[in-house]
Amino acid sequence: MSGFPEFDYRNNELFVESVSLKQIAREFGTPCYVYSRAALTKAYQAFDAAFANREHLICYAVKANSNIAILNLFARLGSGFDIVSGGELQRVIKAGGDPGKTVFSGVGKHVDEMRMALNANILCFNVESEAELIVLNQIAKDMGKIAPVSLRVNPDVDAKTHPYISTGLKENKFGVPASVAERIYQSTQQYPHIRFTGLDCHIGSQLTELEPFLQASHKMLNLLETLQSQGLSIEHLDLGGGLGIRYTDETPPSIKDYVSALCAGTRTVKQRLLIEPGRSLVGNSGILLTRVEYLKHTSARDFAIVDAAMNDLMRPALYDAYHAILPVQQNASEARNYQVVGPVCETGDFLGHDRKLSLNDGDFLAVMSAGAYGMSMSSNYNTRPRAAEIMVDHDQIHIIRQRETIDQLMADERVLPQ
């Protein structure tokens, strides 16, 4: 199937690599997330190969999917990491990732997270405000360290994506204007425990056109040239992430075209290039597997009520996002126009609207393109344990996260004394 090379039908049954999804559903239960090791590996290698001989570092955006098995796989392939919390840093370290290849982004870093990152000797902090820089300078002073910093510049570029995931406009909370960044870089004497090592931007997520990337990189290149003309030494240029994937009818650039365009637009830059892909590495490498509990036919609509819900996959409820939904077992019976909904007590609890499907009670469905911002955004709403996670490697099945239990959810709660 186009867009899902490691997921295909064999004799009308959906497989991931060489394993039947029906087998996984029966053995491990539903809902569960299923990932393809081959798809993850191919996506990373496509980024790496596209840079050819250009000095670069791919920093996987951990927030997209933070399972330590996935982080470990990328670390073994040579990846760096883009983190946005101390918890994500601890995941990277536990997964065998290199803190020295890790950048720390985010607008609200806590002082404890700063200390943790300084102790771990991360590659750099992507600092997003003067207030943050002042605090980081003081923390580094208290620890007797020098903090490596790359200012995140807000280039005021329209990413042409969902407003919730657009981060590069001047009204967004992220980064500082180029004029402010220039002034800060010229004020190094005010920050004796800061070493400015890089320049960074990130304009949003799920971008499907090259032009916003090129606009942002052009503005960053102009700022870099200005800083260098003033005698400032910049070691790397971080152009962020945001490359989209195909969920339905989108036509995003290929990884090769995206990286080639970035490299061509910065061909005069001698600094190492950093990028922070997330969704484009993991999005189409994973699916959410769910079971049809009931078929409910009304005079207004037909509902397929499944055992996965908005707590398992928040994107449809949060962004009105589209995910393809495929039957694990194809059959020839009459198809209906189904609303695919979950058991959570919210009208917004849906996985897909108006899907033509031929279904029976107990059938399994695959919600495609769920590898990014699926499990990492899941919750325990309605006291629902989070799903299991499975990694398939050729014909091998590995459970990389056990399904939560109700006892685990309540383990840290206490009743009041008499």
Q: Which one, of 271, 270, 282, lies nearest residue 241 by Cα? A: 282
Helical residues (DSSP H) of 320-395, grouped into ranges: none
Instruction: Tell me, yes or no, whether 244 and 207 share the same domain.
Output: yes
* Residues 223-267 pLDDT 10s: 888 888 888 889 999 999 889 999 988 899 999 999 998 998 888
Instruction: Tell me, yes or no, whether 115 and 255 share the same domain.
Output: yes
**Is residue 276 part of an annotated ligand binding site?**
yes
Instruction: Tell me, yes or no, whether 232 and 381 share the same domain.
Output: no
Examine residue 333 and state whether it is found in any structural domain, yes or no.
yes
Q: Which one, of 242, 97, 222, 223, lies nearest residue 174 by Cα? A: 242
Examine residue 357 and state whether it is found in any structural domain, yes or no.
yes
Examine residue 75 and state whether it is found in any structural domain, yes or no.
no
* 4 has a pLDDT exceeding 80: no
**What CATH number does the domain containing 389 carry?**
2.40.37.10
Give the whole-angstrom CA distance, residue 205 versus residue 244.
7
Q: Which one, of 61, 55, 117, lies nearest residue 86 by Cα? A: 117
**What CATH number does the domain containing 214 carry?**
3.20.20.10
**Is residue 242 part of an annotated ligand binding site?**
yes
**Structure tokens that stand for 178 in this block:** 């180029």
Instruction: Tell me, yes or no, whether 130 and 183 share the same domain.
Output: yes
**Is residue 336 part of an annotated ligand binding site?**
no
Check: CB of residue 241 under 8 Å from CB of residue 274. no
Compute the mean pLDDT over every residue in the chain, rounded to the nearest whole number.
Answer: 92
Q: In the predicted model, what is the mean pLDDT of residues 273-287?
A: 96
Instruction: Tell me, yes or no, whether 128 and 219 share the same domain.
Output: yes
- Mode of pairing for the β-strands spanning 147-152 and 124-127: parallel
Check: CB of residue 58 under 8 Å from CB of residue 79. yes
Give the whole-angstrom CA distance, residue 289 versus residue 303.
18
Q: In the predicted model, what is the mean pLDDT of residues 17-44?
A: 98
Please, which residues bridge with residue 389 across strands?
A: 33, 401
* 9 has a pLDDT exceeding 70: yes
Helical residues (DSSP H) of 29-97, grouped into ranges: 37-50, 68-77, 86-94
Examine residue 273 and state whether it is found in any structural domain, yes or no.
yes
Element (H, E) at 152: strand 147-152
Q: Per residue in 143-153, is it b (16+ CB within 10 Å) or e — as a string?
A: eeeebbbbbbb
Check: CB of residue 129 under 8 Å from CB of residue 176. yes
Instruction: Tell me, yes or no, whether 258 and 354 share the same domain.
Output: no
Look up the pTM and report it.
0.94
Examine residue 48 and state whether it is found in any structural domain, yes or no.
no
**Is residue 346 part of an annotated ligand binding site?**
yes
Instruction: Tell me, yes or no, whether 223 and 292 share the same domain.
Output: no
Check: CB of residue 376 under 8 Å from CB of residue 66. yes
Catalytic pick among 59, 124, 201, 345? 345
- Mode of pairing for the β-strands spanning 80-83 and 102-104: parallel
Examine residue 2 and state whether it is found in any structural domain, yes or no.
no
**Structure tokens that stand for 297 in this block:** 């036919």
* 1-10, 120-129, 263-272: range with highest mean pLDDT: 120-129
Q: In the predicted model, what is the mean pLDDT of residues 207-225?
A: 85
Q: Using the 3D structure, point to which of 258, 277, 296 is the last residue of a domain.
A: 277
**Is residue 277 part of an annotated ligand binding site?**
yes
Domain span at 400: 7-36+283-410
Q: In the predicted model, what is the mean pLDDT of residues 25-29?
A: 97
- Mode of pairing for the β-strands spanning 56-61 and 32-36: unpaired
Q: Which one, of 397, 331, 399, lies nearest residue 18 by Cα? A: 397
Number of domains in the chain: 2
Examine residue 402 and state whether it is found in any structural domain, yes or no.
yes
Q: Using the 3D structure, point to which of 217, 245, 277 is the last residue of a domain.
A: 277
Please, which residues bridge with residue 294 across strands?
A: 305
Indicate if 345 belongs to the active site: yes
**Is residue 279 part of an annotated ligand binding site?**
yes
**Is residue 315 part of an annotated ligand binding site?**
yes
User: Percent of the chain having pLDDT more than 90?
Assistant: 74
Q: Using the 3D structure, point to which of 256, 277, 298 is the last residue of a domain.
A: 277
Please, which residues bridge with residue 15 across strands?
A: 8, 20
* Residues 332-388 pLDDT 10s: 788 999 999 999 999 999 999 999 999 999 999 999 999 999 999 999 999 999 999
* 161 has a pLDDT exceeding 70: no
**Is residue 99 part of an annotated ligand binding site?**
no
Instruction: Tell me, yes or no, whether 297 and 396 share the same domain.
Output: yes
Instruction: Tell me, yes or no, whether 334 and 384 share the same domain.
Output: yes
Instruction: Tell me, yes or no, whether 164 and 255 share the same domain.
Output: yes
Q: Which one, of 400, 372, 395, lies nearest residue 165 by Cα? A: 372
Examine residue 11 and state whether it is found in any structural domain, yes or no.
yes
* Residues 74-132 pLDDT 10s: 999 999 999 999 999 999 999 999 999 999 999 999 999 999 999 999 999 999 999 99
3-state secondary structure of 299: coil
Check: CB of residue 155 under 8 Å from CB of residue 169. no
Instruction: Tell me, yes or no, whether 397 and 287 share the same domain.
Output: yes
Instruction: Tell me, yes or no, whether 164 and 111 share the same domain.
Output: yes
* 175 has a pLDDT exceeding 80: no
**Is residue 373 part of an annotated ligand binding site?**
yes
